[in-house]
Amino acid sequence: MSRFKAVIFDLDGVITDTAHYHYLAWKQLAESQGVHFDHAFNENLKGIDRMGSLDLILASSSRTYTPEEKLALADTKNLHYQELIATMSSKDLLPGAVEALDAVRRAGLRIGLASVSKNAFTVLGRLGITDKFDYVVDAATIARGKPDPEIFLKAARELGVAPADCLGVEDAVAGVAAIKSAGMFALGIGHPFVLTEADVVITSLKEFNLAAY
Ligand code: G6P
Ligand code: MG
């Protein structure tokens, strides 16, 4: 049925559209610092951890920030983000997400989640899908964010599956790069012109077909 032994999913932009909430929270933060922020710029932030994203935004600012100021700005963004996700529920699952998870389960493969979001456990809980995963990486234990392969390699190790036997699913350029440098097969969710490093790109998990990869 499948040549893989595990599927490791990203969360934001793959299973649920929190990518939009991150966008709204970063946009408000950036504009409070006089930095222009739009969807094109946001594309560079997808999959990038909180402080890494802030550094990319502040690189366009005319002033410099102390580490304390940066931490305060990151906290402001995170509090806004947490307000935005507080009302999430299973209605916020992206089309095809539950069906894809259930198809992987039925095929007897292991299922992991590799999100660098420190809010991932909260979001999974709100979506009501925590128990669909065999292993969820705790982002607080990851030293290097995507595009470093660390988070995908940790997921594979904890699932007891060799990286070459894993299929990684990602919507971000940095995430696809992380999957490829982990030595896994990369399924991109989005546009092939954007996710050029992915082995296969589909528009959404509605098109997920495990037997085809
Ligand atoms: C995901 C999102 C990023 C976000 C990162 C950190 O990778 O794609 O946009 O910046 O998680 O999320 P956090 O909830 O920890 O701020
Ligand atoms: Mg993502």
pTM of the model: 0.94
Coil, strand, or helix at residue 91? Answer: helix
Residue 92 among the catalytic residues: no
To the query of whether residue 12 is one of the catalytic residues in this protein, the response is yes
Q: How many angstroms from the chain centroid is the CA of residue 173?
A: 10
Dihedral angle sign, alpha carbons of residues 29, 32, 33, 37? positive
User: Could you tell me the residue ranges of all domains in the chain?
Assistant: 6-16+90-212, 19-85
**What DSSP line would sit under 13-76, residue for residue?**
TTTBTHHHHHHHHHHHHHHHTT----HHHHHHHTT--HHHHHHHHHTTSSS---HHHHHHHHHH
CA 43, distance to chain mean position in Å, is 12
H or E element that contains 79 = helix 67-85
Instruction: Pick the ligand that lies closest to the CA of residue 56.
Output: 1
Protein residue closest via CA to atom 11 of ligand 1: 117
pLDDT confidence of residue 43: 86
What architecture (CATH level 2) is domain 19-85?
Orthogonal Bundle (1.10)
Tokens representing 159?
């699932």
Mutate to test the pocket of ligand 1, among 9, 22, 144 (most ligand atoms within 8 A of CB): 22
Domain 6-16+90-212 has CATH 3.30.450.20: no
Reported as a single tens digit per residue, the pLDDT across 163-196 is 999 999 999 999 999 999 999 999 999 999 999 9
Taking only the tens place, the pLDDT of each residue in 22-68 is 999 999 999 999 999 999 999 889 889 999 999 999 999 989 999 99
